[in-house]
Amino acid sequence: MSLNQIKEFLLDIFFPKICLNCQKEGEFLCLDCSALLDILDLHQKYQTRNLADLYFALPYQNRLVKKLIQKFKYEPFIKELSQTLASLIITHFQLSSKSKTDFSGSLLIPVPLEKKRLKWRGFNQAEEIGKELSSYLKIPLLGNVLIKIKGTQPQVRLVGKERKENLKGGFLVRAQEAIRNKKIILVDDVYTTGSTMEECARIVREAGAKEIIGIVVARAKPEEDYLQND
């Protein structure tokens, strides 16, 4: 048994996983409750100025979806929810296999966090989801190519044009040779107005990427992501 397996075994004994919806012990999202989620079984192409497409597993309106994402992102953090959330994306891929994009040869890049916020949370939620997707899709995850170089206000506190202005000059590609002429998949948790994903895509495209698509757990309508406990 590896060190990680021993660690997981002990955590399961002393801090057992409990379904965040029905409180059943065993998983953060049990099979019965996962069946309540309307995971999309069809992919519809979504193109923007800098994104060739966007994949998302389900809408953010569902209260259980909100709860899972917020427990992942806000204190007290449940880092292990990355597996649950990534599984929703993977299920979407499997259900919509008829319209599946060929991800082979692509590189996964998580939307980065500013250092202060990364220190506060202890992990980048987009990167943790990206690790799970990397294992499933069997493509590399590049965690330190796209970085955030400027502290910004949390996007959930802003609306409309404020979100775009907040992000200007906030990102940098520091290893352009790693992404030049490559297909890039940007990973994040929620896509709302698209300001963050679009700005990251723009920076990556200007650094020489061939094509950029986005993958998120959920897509929200503007201001749906505003209240942590909504």
Asked if 175 and 112 count as a contact pair (C-beta separation under 8 A), the reply is no
Q: Tell me, yes or no, whether 119 and 58 share the same domain.
A: yes
Q: Based on the fold, state whether residues 150 and 58 are members of the same structural domain.
A: yes
Count of domains observed in the chain: 2
Contact yes or no for 214/191 (Cβ under 8 A): yes
Question: What DSSP state is assigned to residue 141?
Answer: B
Q: Are residues 201 and 119 both part of a single domain?
A: yes
Phi then psi dihedrals of residue 215, to 5 deg: -135, 125
pLDDT digits (tens, 9 = 90+) for 78-105: 999 999 999 999 999 999 876 567 899 9
Q: What is the domain-level CATH number for residue 91? A: 3.40.50
pLDDT band at 228 (very low <50, low <70, confident <90, very high): very low
Q: Quick check: is 17 in a domain?
A: yes
Q: What is the pLDDT of residues 140-158, one digit of tens each?
A: 999 999 999 876 655 455 5
141 found inside a domain: yes
Domain of 180 in residue numbering reads as 41-219
The torsion of the CA quartet 181, 126, 227, 48, rounded to 10 degrees, works out to 10
In a domain, 89, yes or no: yes
**CA 190 from centre of chain:** 6
Which SS3 state, helix, strand or coil, does residue 129 take? helix
* Domain presence at residue 229: no
Give every CB contact of residue 61 below 8 A, 6+ residues apart in sequence.
Answer: 220, 221, 224
Residue 49 burial (C-beta neighbours within 10 Å; 0-12, 13-18, 19+): exposed
* Distance (Å, whole) CA 13 – CA 11: 5
Does a structural domain hold residue 175?
yes
Residue 6 has pLDDT above 70, yes or no: no
Does 77 share its domain with 158?
yes
**Quick one: 32 and 115 in the same domain?**
no
Tell me: do 102 and 54 sit in the same domain: yes
Question: Looking at the structure, do residues 84 and 31 belong to the same domain, yes or no?
Answer: no
Buried b (16+ CB within 10 A) or exposed e, 150-177: eebeebbebeeeebeebbeebbebeeee
**Are 177 and 108 in a shared domain?**
yes
- For the segment 179-187, the average pLDDT, to the nearest whole number, is 97
Q: Same domain for 107 and 211?
A: yes
Per the domain annotation, does 183 fall within a domain? Answer: yes
Residue of 86, 97, 95, 101 lying closest to 54 (CA atoms): 101
- Domain annotation covers residue 151: yes
Share of the chain above pLDDT 70, in %: 80
> Is residue 176 in a domain?
yes
Report residue 120's pLDDT band, with 50, 70 and 90 as the boundaries. very high
Question: Encoding tokens for residue 19?
Answer: 């379904």
Do 45 and 31 belong to one domain?
no
Question: 145 and 53 in one domain?
Answer: yes
Q: Are residues 52 and 26 in the same domain?
A: no
Chain length of the chain: 230
Whether the pLDDT of residue 69 is over 80: the answer is yes
